[in-house]
Amino acid sequence: MENKFYPFPTDFWWGSASSATQMEGASTQGGKGENIWDYWFQEEPNRFFNGVGPGNTSNFYEQYKEDISLMKELGHNSFRLSISWSRLIPTGDGEVNEEAVTFYKNVLNEMISQDVEPFVNLYHFDMPMAMQRIGGWESREVVQAYVRYASICFELFGDLASKWFTHNEPVVPVEQQYLYGNHYPAECDFKKAVQAGFHSVLAGAKAVKVFKEKGYKGEIGVILNLTPSYPRSNHPEDLKAGNMADLFFNRSFLDPFVKGEFPSELVDVLKTEGFMPEIQEGDLDIIANNTVDLLGVNYYQPRRVKAKENMPNPNAPFLPERYFDHYEMPGRKMNPYRGWEIYEKGIYDILVNVKENYGNIPCFISENGMGVENEDRFLNSEGQVQDDYRIEFYKNHLKWMHKAIEEGANLKGYHVWTFIDNWSWLNAYKNRYGLISLDLDNGFKRTIKKSGEWYKELSIQNGFYDGESVK
């Protein structure tokens, strides 16, 4: 077999991503306020896999120096972290917590000293509980509090970071808090979902406006989980189902953040169904005039859909699935642990779409990864996880990214999920995603996996050989 080399552009961003709640730990220390995860774990610990809550994460709060050293060792030239709104401003809209300011300045300075560029995200599913009590993203007050929080972050840390992101996957809180019941407050209310989604977009645009008007250095973007919607067939009703899924889950955020407008088809559906959000005068102008500079794309799996098999119950709560059914493609390749399909070409299809329909905005893959259970099965005699399956997963996605770049996609980097095995919202440590394994029973011991060594070579070579494996 030919050992083909896949090179990537000069100055490509190689790194990984995580979030404050999933990585920091110290959830009740350092003056941090309560967020929705802290609260929900106290109220309903049974919702969390093995009863493991957000207090028991990979301890970055204490071990950030060691971790940033390891990032450097793995060839990272960049890393995306998030600031915890409830750590920085414990009530969401009150006094700034000076211990948090010191912590984040120390982290950012340490990253800079190790030549790992900070990509700073402002919101990753972790609404301060005080803000949720007044409605969370449903509330106009929370939009203003978020914009104040973003402004404070730019002011405090703007000289230490030049890549900023308003949200990670803003569609997820909309889906999981207000439609499918997987995140607190676990409601099923489409009207609230639409209002929360609109306010997330508005809050993002207002943060962009502050960033630009104050003249902070660098770029401000958004991280979206773009999940291509593949119809079962070319039958008109299947195609219509695919289009509707795309409107609800992708274009609802991609269009306003990048183009400054909501898709007219989506607006028509919301009007027809009676779910238009409350919009104040000037809101749509703010969204139109404050689009992002940079797009992060999270990709894990495709969405496959088909025309409805049965008429929906007209009296049931409205869900996007009123317009399509999910479809299981025969013979699909699966990650059996996560229950997700592995479809590498999806990453190419996203990049082609962004190139052709979104002005070829500068973008990067901001998350891509494979969660596997019981990785201790794959330990060698030296105690290293031999995760060849993860290396294969990365390679097969990188090949499609390489093809997209050759065809003109404006792709700037690849961040995997994640740097170190981390706590996941409801699944705790059920599925491991890290380049580094975490031993929770042995003082949070970190051990580089085989994939971590491979990732280092990838970064050093700025590309990879198809036939090679790390020795």
Which tokens sit at 13?
A: 């961003």
Query: Read out DSSP for 198-239?
Result: HHHHHHHHHHHHHHHHTT-SSEEEEEEE---EEESSSSHHHH
Closest CA to 214 of 142, 141, 159: 159
235 in Cβ contact with 154 (< 8 Å): no
The C-alpha angle 364, 366, 367, rounded to 5 degrees, equals 140
Q: Compute the Cα dihedral for 382, 388, 393, 398 and give only its sign.
A: positive
Q: What letter represents residue 286's amino acid?
A: I
Q: Is 367 a catalytic residue?
A: yes
Longest dimension (CA), the chain: 65
Query: Read out DSSP for 387-415?
Result: -HHHHHHHHHHHHHHHHHHHTT--EEEEE
Distances (CA, A) of 405 to 16, 40, 86: 20, 43, 39
Burial of residue 122 (CB within 10 Å: 0-12, 13-18, 19+) is: buried
Helices (H) and strands (E) in the chain, counts: 16, 17
Q: Which of 344, 367, 375, 453 is catalytic?
A: 367
Which tokens sit at 264?
A: 């007219």
The C-alpha angle 165, 169, 174, rounded to 5 degrees, equals 125
Distances (CA, A) of 265 to 102, 245, 275, 354, 468: 47, 12, 14, 19, 47
Give CA–CA dist 446/448, Å, rounded.
Answer: 7
Give CA–CA dist 92/207, Å, rounded.
Answer: 16
Distances (CA, A) of 393 to 34, 105, 397, 410, 415: 37, 35, 6, 22, 14
Catalytic annotation, residues: 367
